Amino acid sequence: MISKDTFDQLLNKGLTIAFAESMTGGAATYELMKNPGASKVISGSIVAYSIKQKHNLLNMSLEDMNKYGIVSKEVSSIMARKIKETIGSDIGVGVTGNAGPTLQDNTYGLEAWVSILCKTEMHVFHLDLEGLSRVEAIEKTVRFIYEKLSNILN
């Protein structure tokens, strides 16, 4: 289980986490939920796949999404901040991207942006997903999230 180290780190440090997922569709949350006792570390999760749901569920401004583009480091960072505030967790994770095979409007390739707001420190990462199938892109992104979370928590 790729999330076991992160789960143990969160549990040992007494930290909670919340996810705002778009392109991963809940897969990152599900990976952590596989651990017995997950309720001790997962505060909540929102799958906000569309612009409308990012606006309604995460209270993200339409102006920011239009200004930066729905697949951008800025939007992933806003998602991380909004989910942390909305759920009231120690850590907020925001992920947005294009898993393919088609691209969202005003985007330029298969990619993901992952932001992790740990307490007050924002970490932002970019993944190139070119050449991967949709499922492979989602799986790579979820693995990447847990690698980065584990590094941040060390």
Amino acid sitting at position 7: F
Instruction: Return the domain boundaries, the chain.
Output: 4-153
The pLDDT assigned to 2 comes to: 87
Give the pLDDT confidence of 9-18 residue by residue, as tens digits.
999 999 999 9
Query: How much is the average pLDDT of 105-122?
Result: 90
Which CATH fold topology does 4-153 show? Maf protein (3.90.950)
Is residue 53 exposed (0-12), middle (13-18) or buried (19+ Cβ within 10 Å)?
middle
Q: Is the whole-model pTM more than 0.75?
A: yes
Q: How confident is the model at residue 104 (pLDDT cuts 50, 70, 90)?
A: confident
Share of the chain above pLDDT 70, in %: 98
